[in-house]
Chain A
Amino acid sequence: MSRLRTFAAAASSVPITLFGLVLVTFLIGRVMPIDPIIAIVGDHAQNDVVEAARLQLGLDRPLAVQFWLYVKLLMQGDLGRSVMTSNPVTRDIAQYFPATIELATVAILIAVAIGIPLGVLAAVRRGSWVDHGVRVFCLAGHSIPIFLLALIGLLVFYATLGWTPGTGRSDVGLEGMVPDVTGFLTIDALLARDWESLRDACAHLVLPAGVLAYFSMAYIARMTRAFMLDALSGEFVITARAKGLSAARVIWRHAFPNIAVRLVTVLALTYAGLLEGAVVTETVFGWPGLGQYLTISLLNADMNAVLGATLVIGLSYLLLNLLADAAYRLLDPRVR
């Protein structure tokens, strides 16, 4: 019961944080020294045209009133209209965000599947060539700029070897072939039992997800190694070994569950970071994701789009945090 209550307390902070986020992003958007009107009507518009547009967007009203109107619409799920695409921002996001989620999810899965075992291995074989090897591998993942990695990836695996398709989410010939149900190409193809589209969607995911995964993997492996070194030095590890347990059992059943909580924090933040839209990766791979949408909107002073995208990113951070919080309670009896 008390477990539920503490979780409810954590959850109740979400709307407050979200309100703060809306306020700050809104103010930044309005205080910026660019005139969104010019972005719409162009440099050479007549004064009366500019004024008409200003009135139409409600930009002549006091800031507080503008904010109140924005929040009122927001409560109804209306993020306004994007100047650039002239669609409602919610529709744009529904179109762009799934691409980012798909990419980020595949990337984090690869990163976890490789990063955690590597980190554990490095900690167990501390100081050996394995440890040094993992360190160099991770250092490379951390320090090679991601655009360079992406370009090298394209050059090697697409242009030279031809193992992967090029940029974009799907081949031109297959575009729009599967009905749009969830927005995730892989899932939609699966639902439509269109195996060719599924294969194509997966093939397009491999390279960008791999590049993102390498970067995240480096961080996850490094943190896992540090946490494991700490756990392995615990007295309870001596107890476990004194019981005559196998090395694998001592590592995975005794030491590893003790780092789970800290690891969940790292994973949640890494995943949130990926959801934020890997702008550079999305740009290099022509991936129509939220990062690209946000960047283009920003460059075009499309404030409704920027605000909407920022809110969605903020919301995913908050939800992941909440999820991590719930996971702590499951994983560590001391937090309950």
Chain B
Amino acid sequence: MLVDIRNLSIAFPSATGPSLAVREVSLSLGAEKLGIVGESGSGKSLTARSLLRLLPDNATVTADRLEFAGIDVLGASERVLRGIRGKRAGLILQDPKFSLNPVMTAGAQIAEAFRAHRRAGRREAKAAAIDLLAQVQIRDPARVAGAYPHELSGGMGQRVMIAMMLAPDPELLIADEPTSALDATVQAEILRLMEDLVSRRGMALMLISHDLPLVSHFCDRVAVMYAGRIVETLAAGELARAEHPYTRGLLECLPTLTHDQARLPVMARDPAWLA
């Protein structure tokens, strides 16, 4: 089991006492593609980032078990964590405009990731960076390697981000809304690229998104989060058999070409879901 989470809770201090952003989440992941869907603030990003202990300083994390490849992440030292971050688990963030360092060239950022976890000279790392850029299907990798993030389009930036996170050859890739900031056509390209790389390298994938059809199309299993809880976990093909009213509500809100509806229904939220 690559990822094993039991009863994970994440709380933040607030004026009225600690406020729970993630409540008793349990989840496990092998060499598969798991999708986590949910609306903004449902705790999906926090759950994923807690695996790398990359949470804001004021977050309090408690869990019966929070393990990555058998390593207890909660009790791990910073040194052990650095052996997981990047090296064994990569994290792709939403918008390359903000997630890439604006004053470093794309090539330098990838080479840095490459050198962080193995002994390699500058020249070797630079060659590896260009090779990785070619692997994420950038046509002119040498030019892009010398470009700064503001000189790249969103899709290119996200390819650079993927190349950077693949550099140390990790076992798990966490993609936190990797396509939300991109145009629809570019979204499909990036997803196809990720799918291709993940299956070719035999990596596990945790894909976080608020796009239910996209995730179900792309992943093996889907976990639906609402208000800090996983309300339902389904095999991707069985989405139609969803039982939780929140999941059903989400599915009903989707416009389709075949079923003619004058108005899309608005979800009626039941306060009982919060309990």
List the interface of chain A (C-beta within 8 A of B).
126, 234-236, 238-247, 253-254, 257-258, 260, 331-334
- Considering only CB atoms, which chain B residue lies closest to A257 in the complex? B103
Q: Determine the chain B residues whose CB is within 8 A of the CB of A260 once the complex forms.
A: 103
Contact B78 A243 (CB under 8 A): no
Partner of B101, one of A244, A246, A247, A254: A254
Contact B95 A334 (CB under 8 A): no
Q: Is B133 among interface residues, defined by CB-CB distance under 8 A?
A: no
CA distance in complex: A243, B85 (Å):
6
- Considering only CB atoms, which chain B residue lies closest to A233 in the complex? B56
Q: Is B72 among interface residues, defined by CB-CB distance under 8 A?
A: no
Q: Give B78-104 as 1s and 0s: 1 = Cβ < 8 Å from A's Cβ atoms.
A: 100011111100110111001111111
Please tell me which stretch of B112-120, B124-132, B218-226, B232-240 contacts chain A, meaning at least 4 of its Cβ atoms lie within 8 angstroms of it: B112-120
Partner of B102, one of A241, A246, A247, A334: A334
Contact A243 B103 (CB under 8 A): no
Partner of A244, one of B86, B93, B95, B150: B86
- Considering only CB atoms, which chain A residue lies closest to B105 in the complex? A333
Contact B102 A244 (CB under 8 A): no
Q: Determine the chain A residues whose CB is within 8 A of the CB of B150 once the complex forms.
A: 333-334
- Considering only CB atoms, which chain A residue lies closest to B94 in the complex? A235
24 A–B pairs (Cβ distance < 8 Å), ordered by A:
A126-B57, A235-B94, A235-B95, A236-B98, A238-B54, A239-B99, A239-B100, A239-B101, A242-B54, A242-B86, A244-B82, A244-B83, A244-B85, A244-B86, A244-B168, A245-B112, A245-B116, A246-B82, A253-B112, A260-B103, A331-B103, A333-B103, A334-B102, A334-B148
Which of the listed residues A240, A243, A247, A257 has the most CB atoms from chain B within 10 Å of its own CB?
Answer: A243
- Considering only CB atoms, which chain A residue lies closest to B161 in the complex? A239
Contact A238 B85 (CB under 8 A): no
Contact B102 A333 (CB under 8 A): yes
Contact B100 A243 (CB under 8 A): no
DSSP class of A's interface residues: helix, strand, loop or mixed?
helix
Q: Chain B's nearest CB lies how many Å from the CB of A336?
A: 9
Q: Chain B's nearest CB lies how many Å from the CB of A41?
A: 62
Interface size class of B (residues with CB under 8 A): 20 to 34
Instruction: Given A243-B116, A245-B112, answer yes or no on A238-B93 (Cβ-Cβ < 8 Å).
Output: yes
The 9 closest A-B pairs by CB, nearest first: A244-B86, A244-B85, A242-B91, A235-B98, A243-B86, A333-B148, A236-B101, A235-B99, A244-B82
Contact B117 A244 (CB under 8 A): yes
Q: Determine the chain A residues whose CB is within 8 A of the CB of B52 once the complex forms.
A: 242
CA distance in complex: A235, B56 (Å):
12
- Considering only CB atoms, which chain B residue lies closest to A331 in the complex? B103
Count CB-based A-B contacts (< 8 Å): 76
Q: Determine the chain B residues whose CB is within 8 A of the CB of A257 once the complex forms.
A: 101, 103-104
Q: Determine the chain B residues whose CB is within 8 A of the CB of A334 once the complex forms.
A: 102, 148, 150
Partner of B164, one of A126, A241, A243, A253: A243
Q: Chain A's nearest CB lies how many Å from the CB of B149?
A: 9
Contact B78 A242 (CB under 8 A): no
Q: Give B133-169 as 1s and 0s: 1 = Cβ < 8 Å from A's Cβ atoms.
A: 0000000000000001011000000000100110010
Q: Determine the chain B residues whose CB is within 8 A of the CB of A240 once the complex forms.
A: 101
Contact A234 B98 (CB under 8 A): yes
Contact B82 A332 (CB under 8 A): no
Instruction: Given A238-B93, A239-B161, answer yes or no on A258-B85 (Cβ-Cβ < 8 Å).
Output: no
Q: Chain A's nearest CB lies how many Å from the CB of B128?
A: 14
Contact A258 B102 (CB under 8 A): yes
CA distance in complex: A247, B82 (Å):
10
- Considering only CB atoms, which chain A residue lies closest to B87 in the complex? A244
Which of the listed residues A235, A254, A260 has the most CB atoms from chain B within 10 Å of its own CB?
Answer: A235
CA distance in complex: A238, B112 (Å):
15
- Considering only CB atoms, which chain B residue lies closest to A127 in the complex? B57
CA distance in complex: A241, B95 (Å):
16
Contact B84 A244 (CB under 8 A): yes
Query: Could you list 15 further interchain pairs (A-B, Cβ under 8 angstroms) beyond the known A244-B82, A253-B112, A257-B101?
Result: A238-B54, A238-B93, A239-B99, A239-B100, A242-B52, A242-B90, A243-B86, A243-B112, A244-B84, A245-B82, A254-B104, A257-B103, A331-B103, A332-B102, A333-B148
Q: Determine the chain A residues whose CB is within 8 A of the CB of B99 once the complex forms.
A: 235-236, 238-239
CA distance in complex: A195, B86 (Å):
55
- Considering only CB atoms, which chain A residue lies closest to B98 in the complex? A235
Q: Determine the chain B residues whose CB is within 8 A of the CB of A234 once the complex forms.
A: 98
CA distance in complex: A247, B79 (Å):
10
CA distance in complex: A102, B141 (Å):
50
Instruction: Given A333-B150, A334-B150, answer yes or no on A242-B100 (Cβ-Cβ < 8 Å).
Output: no
Contact A241 B101 (CB under 8 A): no
CA distance in complex: A258, B103 (Å):
7
Q: Determine the chain B residues whose CB is within 8 A of the CB of A245 once the complex forms.
A: 82, 86, 112, 116
Q: Chain B's nearest CB lies how many Å from the CB of A238?
A: 6
Instruction: Given A244-B84, A245-B112, answer yes or no on A236-B100 (Cβ-Cβ < 8 Å).
Output: yes
